[in-house]
Amino acid sequence: MSDISASTPRIGVIGLGAMGMGTATALLEQGMTVTGCDVSPSACRAFEDAGGQCAATPAELARHCEIVLLVVVNADQVEQVLFGDQGLVGHLAPGSVVLQCATVAPSIARRLGERLAEAGLAMIDAPISGGAAKARAGQLSVMASGTSAAFDKASPALDGMAATVYRLGEEVGIGSSMKLVNQLLAGVHIATAAEALALGIRLGLDPETVYEVITHSAGNSWMFENRVPHILKGDYTPLSAVDIFVKDLNIVHDTGRELAMPTPVAASALQQFTAAKGAGFGREDDSAVIKVYERLSGITLPEAANDGGEV
């Protein structure tokens, strides 16, 4: 890895996937020194091609950064990146700040905050929203909680990655609680968009016309507007995978169970995403949940014959 200048904010981004790559590239374009890290060599190569630099491990990245974003998928990956062999902890300079952006349960976020504090590191609980396009534009919403000192330290990264940073409190875990509310809505809205479009097709309506009318009517949602075009194009390249919603709606379910708080509508959406995963669509875009309806009802999806899916 080449030498890194200390004159600009030195930011690390671990996890260069749909969200991390765009965020890292947006920060780079704003003149920050950004070091990426990903277990996937092709992701690292892509970031280097975009002008960034990559570290082989989180431990190596830690030696060059004082603000580190975690944009891996789930709690197990966050654990590995922080506390695993060649993890960040033990290598990051004391006082460094970790922006934990992966969607995890609030209870997990709280425990991570405690363990990082014991290691002399600050954590901002900083889940993100807006999808890959807003990540690439540096226009995310961040649902954040942490101390004022941590926010001060992390402000170059937060300002560069987000259109809006919601500072929700000092306590780690509040950000992840808010994100869980978003994920309940996001998951239900995607499953519902798929169900509604499938019904429209079954009724003999033209899917493009369904999109046009609904996006100008009261039944519209951000997710309907954002995801249905993927279905209309038959393009299930994952900008956010089915597996992400199996994870997130399971977090909703588990958290609801812990709180004795029923979430029956989210449970129904979880079943549809679980069916999509079981049918082999877990790595496809989350809009592929409509393929469950295709199988159940015999409808024909736009360009289904050319999308590589198993119908």
Ligand X SMILES: O=C(O)C(=O)[C@@H](O)CO
Q: Which residues are catalytic?
A: 179
Cα separation, 292 vs 299, whole angstroms: 10
- To 5 degrees, how large is the angle CA 50–CA 55–CA 57? 140
Cα separation, 74 vs 176, whole angstroms: 13
Q: Can residue 128 be called a binding residue for ligand NAI (CB under 6 A)?
A: yes
Q: Using CB under 6 A, which of the segments 37-45, 157-165, 253-261, 266-274 binds ligand NAI?
A: 37-45
Q: Can residue 130 be called a binding residue for ligand X (CB under 6 A)?
A: yes
Contact (CB, 8 A) for 50 and 42: no
Nearest distance from C-beta of residue 32 to ligand NAI, angstroms: 19
Nearest distance from C-beta of residue 240 to ligand NAI, angstroms: 3
Q: Can residue 192 be called a binding residue for ligand X (CB under 6 A)?
A: no
Q: Can residue 129 be called a binding residue for ligand X (CB under 6 A)?
A: yes
Sheet-wide strand order for 162-167: 128-129, 140-144, 162-167
In the Cβ-directed half-sphere of 152, how many Cα atoms lie within 13 Å? 4
Cα separation, 299 vs 181, whole angstroms: 32
Q: Among ligand X, ligand NAI, none, what does residue 186 contact (CB within 5–8 Å per kind)?
A: ligand X
Q: Among ligand X, ligand NAI, none, what does residue 73 contact (CB within 5–8 Å per kind)?
A: ligand NAI
Determine the distance from the C-alpha atom of residue 87 to the mean position of all C-alpha atoms in its chain, rounded to a whole number: 21
By CB under 6 A, name the binding residues for ligand X: 129-131, 182-183, 186, 240, 244
Q: Which residues bind ligand NAI (CB under 6 A)?
A: 14-20, 37-40, 43, 71-73, 77, 80-81, 102-103, 128-129, 131-132, 239-240, 244, 248
